[in-house]
Structure 1
Amino acid sequence: MDQETVSYILTYHWHLLSEQEKLILQHLLTTEKLMAVTAASVRQRMQILSARKGWLITDKQLLERLADGPDAFRYNTAVTVFNAHGREKLLNLCPRCGLLARTPQARQCRHCGNDWH
Structure 2
Amino acid sequence: MLAYKSNLFKFVVSLNETMDLTTAQYIVNNYRRFLTATESAALLHIRRNSANTTLRHHIYQTPEAPEIQAILADDPEESIRKIANRILNTYPDRIFLNICPRCAQLARTHFARQCPYCYYQWHQQTVATFQLKGTFHLRSKSFFLFGELISGNLNKGNYLDLTTLMLNYQPEITSWEFMLNKSSNNVHEDIAFPVDEVHPEERAWLQEMAAASHKIRIITEKRV
TM-score (norm 1): 0.74
CA contact (8 A) 1:82 1:90 kept: no
Given candidates 14, 21, 25, the residue that maps to 2:32 is 14
Which of these residues, 21, 29, 45, is aligned with residue 3 of structure 1?
A: 21
Deviation at 1:30, TM superposition (A): 1.4
Using the TM superposition, give the Cα deviation of residue 88 of structure 1 relative to its aligned residue in structure 2, in angstroms: 8.5
State the shift of 1:32 in Å: 2.5
SS in 1 for 2:46: helix
Contact 1:94/1:100 (CA < 8 Å) preserved in 2?
yes
Q: Tell me which of 5, 29, 34 is aligned to 2:52.
A: 34
One-letter code of the match for 2:102?
Answer: R
State the partner residue of 2:85.
79
Does residue 90 (structure 1) correspond to residue 96 (structure 2)? The answer is yes
Q: Which deviates more, 57-66 or 77-86?
A: 57-66
TM-score, normalised by the number of residues in structure 2: 0.41
Which segments of 5 or more consecutive residues in structure 2 lack a partner in the other structure?
1-18, 124-224
Q: CA offset at residue 36 of structure 1?
A: 3.6
Q: Which has the larger radius of gyration?
A: 2
Instruction: Tell me the secondary structure at the aligned position of residue 90 of structure 1.
Output: coil
Give the structure 1 partner of residue 107 of structure 2: 101
Q: Residues 19-62 of structure 1, C-alpha deviation per residue, up to 9 Å, x if partnerless?
A: 110011001111223334446xxx49xx6xxx9xxxx7321332
In structure 1, runs of 5+ residues without a counterpart are: none
Listed as ranges, the matches of 1:60-71 within 5 Å are 60-71=66-77
Structure that is richer in strand per residue: 2
User: How many residues of Structure 1 are paired with residues of Structure 2 in the alignment?
Assistant: 105
Name the CA shift for 1:94/1:36 in 2 (closer, same or farther; >3 Å).
closer
Range with greater deviation from structure 2 (87-96 or 106-115): 87-96
Following TM superposition, where does structure 1 have runs of at least 4 consecutive aligned residues deviating by more than 6 angstroms?
none
How many Å apart are 1:87 and its aligned residue? 5.9
Q: Is the 8 A contact 2:39 2:71 kept in 1?
A: no
Q: 1:35 to 1:105 in 2, by over 3 A?
A: same
Q: CA RMSD for the aligned pairs?
A: 2.4
Paired AA for residue 97 in structure 2: L
Which whole-Å CA distance do the structure 1 matches of 2:94 and 2:28 have between them?
15
Sort the Cα spacing of 1:4 and 1:36 in 2 relative to 1 into closer, same or farther, 3 A: closer
**Percent of paired sites with the same residue:** 30
